[in-house]
Amino acid sequence: MERPETTLPAPMQPLPSEGPIQPGSGRKKFDWRRIFAPLGAIGLFLAKVGAKLKLLLLVLPKIKLFTTSATMLVSVGAYTLIWGWKFAVGFVLLLFVHEMGHVIQLRREGVKASAPMFIPFLGAVIAARSFGGNALSEARVGLAGPILGSLASAALIPVASATGNHLFTALAFTGFFLNLFNLLPVVPLDGGRAMAALSPWMWLLGLAALAALTFAFPNPIMPLILLLGGLETWRRFQHRNTPEAQEYHRVSTLNRVLVAGVYLALIVLLAVGMSHTHIARTFGDA
């Protein structure tokens, strides 16, 4: 495995005497390099890890072993260890519907997209060469997943009412939550794709919100999403003023309003859906 290159601080050398020692001059000057040198090494390491992970996600769908059905079964098995097989199957199917929203819209944009590939505890990914060639297409692709995923989650509410089975209510709540989380305005989440048609500055707000969630609800997945989001946001901001980027993000006012309307409406409806399907539990519940 390739090791990150680090720059070691030079050995401390005695400072030359420039005159008589004055009172108070014996205090040592703080060397900021002792802090920033290790931080630079850590940043370089994380950047290389993020690049290799991104490459891995592009390569895995091309390996026949990692087909949609095979990775779905692996994910069901992994989630079964936590929630039981019934919830695991429903959860993976909700992920599948969400990802198929992206696949369908990509193909409508004329972009060839692979079928979803599932990664336990990370969700699912699809492989595509682009998001349609412009920011509006990217926004449509980004919003298509939460739209179809939200419809699938909402369809479980009448099923839960008809059967009286709280399993469907719990699945609906989880589906609403996942789609709402994906609307955070930071790439690589779907909300970040939608923000491509609005303002790049929204990515910074989304990144700050994601960082806050990472500290508020620590788990192994959030730092990874924060890392990928930070790297992608930095890359886009570096190139935001180039002629290519400006052409890519040229979107009419009407389309900006439509994207913003769909984005905000999804957030409101998903929040209402979560409130409607929330089941209060106590320690006495089985």
Total domain count for the chain? 1
* 91 vs 112, residue with greater confidence: 91
**Residue burial 213-236, b: 16+ Cβ < 10 Å; e: rest:** bbeeeeeeebeebbbbbbbbbeeb
pLDDT of residue 35: 44
Residue 51 — very low, low, confident or very high, per pLDDT cuts 50/70/90?
Answer: low
**Span 167-186, pLDDT tens digits:** 999 999 999 999 988 988 87
Residue 252 lies in a domain: yes
**Cβ contact 109:144 at 8 Å:** no
Residue 191 lies in a domain: yes
Please tell me the least confidently modeled range out of 6-10, 87-91, 151-155.
6-10
pLDDT of residue 195: 83
Residue 104 lies in a domain: yes
| Highest mean pLDDT, choosing among 132-136, 196-200, 221-225 | 132-136
Average pLDDT score over residue span 220-239: 75
Residue 285 lies in a domain: no
User: Which residue segment(s) compose the domain that 151 sits in?
Assistant: 47-277
Residue 15 lies in a domain: no
Question: HSE-up of 200 (CA within 13 Å, CB side)?
Answer: 16
Task: Report whether the peptide linkage leading into residue 188 is cis, meaning its omega lies within 30 degrees of zero.
Answer: yes
Residue 10 lies in a domain: no
**Span 123-152, pLDDT tens digits:** 888 888 888 888 899 999 999 999 999 999
What DSSP element (H or E) covers 125?
Answer: strand 123-125
- Residue 49 clears pLDDT 90, i.e. is over it: no
Residue 62 — very low, low, confident or very high, per pLDDT cuts 50/70/90?
Answer: low
Residue 282 lies in a domain: no
Residue 6 lies in a domain: no
**Cβ contact 169:143 at 8 Å:** no
